Amino acid sequence: MSKEKKERTYNYRITLVDDDTHDKLWSRKFTKLNVLVYAITAIVVLLALAWCLIAFTPVKTLIPGYPDARSKYDAIQNAIRIDSLENVISKWELYSENLRRVVDGEEPLKIDSLIKAGNASKEANEKRLAELSLKDSLLRKEVASEDRFDITSGSGKTLPIEGMHFFTPLKGVVSQGYDKALHPFIDITAPTNSVVMSVLDGTVISAGWTDEEGYTIRIQHDGDIISVYKHNQKLMKKTGDKVSAGTPIAIVGGTGNTADGEHLHFELWHKGEAVDPTKYINF
């Protein structure tokens, strides 16, 4: 008896009846499985209808960020104008080149010859680009290996010292100023463990210890400029290292026999002469 109850299937029925005559107008019999199938079908149909409504009707223009017909028209017109401007610029470039050639007494360029030459040299250009790419990669490797200790590579393209932007080497107070005859450098005092920084991009040409100067580091910069940092507690760069302006290079200290307390002994040299750093650097 319990087995029959478990295997029994429950059926349901929806019926529409006239309230006055009690006549049956409509009746539908279903099970739980039928309800699930009908519900899934209805959801799929509604989603399909919503997608069609958005994809094939102007309703999609109501979606924020979706371009309307006017925006598409403007985009097409702008693309046409850009193409026209490129053609005009090309014509003006050809015109100016021919004008230059005529003034110099040379043979003017011909459009037909340019087109033929461009078509004929397309494959040659592609082959040449591949060769140049290979040569460029080899050259980069060679330059990278040689440039480690190169300290004059950009000296021909630098600004005069008055036009350079120097980074402050140490955030502190200038305790003793520059004197060309007696004190051709400056001393800067700062709290213990303050960081000393490079004033410009450059290459470390020496970094080490001497009994008189303590831990000292010298940096060669473009424009025949050398900066010197003495009496440091610790050096953070070694000879040959490339540094950028503002890069930490040492920790301020008081090492060396000539040091009088913790401070930075800072020198700035230009074309072999010591200059006053306060004229070019804000301390």
Please state the domain extents for the chain.
2-54, 161-279
Higher pLDDT, 57 or 119: 57
Q: Answer whether 91's CB lies under 8 Å from 83's CB.
A: no
Length of the chain: 283
Q: DSSP state, 261?
A: S
Provide the pLDDT for residue 206: 95
Q: Which pLDDT score, from 0 to 100, does residue 163 have?
A: 81
CA–CA separation, 146 vs 136, rounded Å? 15
| Of 175 and 28, more confident | 175
In three-state secondary structure terms, 213 is coil
Q: What is the arithmetic mean of pLDDT over 272-279?
A: 93
Q: Is the pLDDT of residue 109 over 70?
A: no
Average pLDDT over residues 116-140: 61
Calculate the average pLDDT of the chain.
80
Confidence of residue 155 (pLDDT cuts 50, 70, 90): very low
* Single-letter code of the amino acid located at 25: L
d(Cα 227, Cα 249) in Å, to the nearest integer? Answer: 12
3-state secondary structure of 45: helix
Q: Considering only CA atoms, which of 89, 109, 88 is closest in space to residue 98? A: 109
| Domain 161-279: assigned CATH number | 2.70.70.10
Strands of the chain (E only): list them.
12-17, 24-30, 173-176, 186-189, 195-197, 202-210, 214-221, 225-235, 242-243, 248-252, 264-270, 273-275
Quote the DSSP letter at residue 246: T
Given a cut of 80, whether residue 66 has pLDDT beyond it is: no
Long-range Cβ contacts of 210-219 (<8 Å, 24+ apart): 210/256, 211/256, 211/257, 212/256, 212/257, 212/258, 213/256, 213/258, 213/265, 214/253, 214/254, 214/255, 214/256, 214/259, 215/250, 215/253, 215/255, 215/256, 216/256, 217/249, 217/250, 219/243, 219/249
Closest C-alpha to 264, from 203, 206, 201, 196: 196
Predicted confidence band of residue 140 (pLDDT cuts 50, 70, 90): low
Q: 265 pLDDT band (50/70/90 cuts)?
A: very high
pLDDT band at residue 156 using 50, 70 and 90 as cut-offs: very low
The whole-angstrom separation of Cα 271 and Cα 268 is 10
Q: How far apart are CA 10 and CA 240, in angstroms?
A: 90
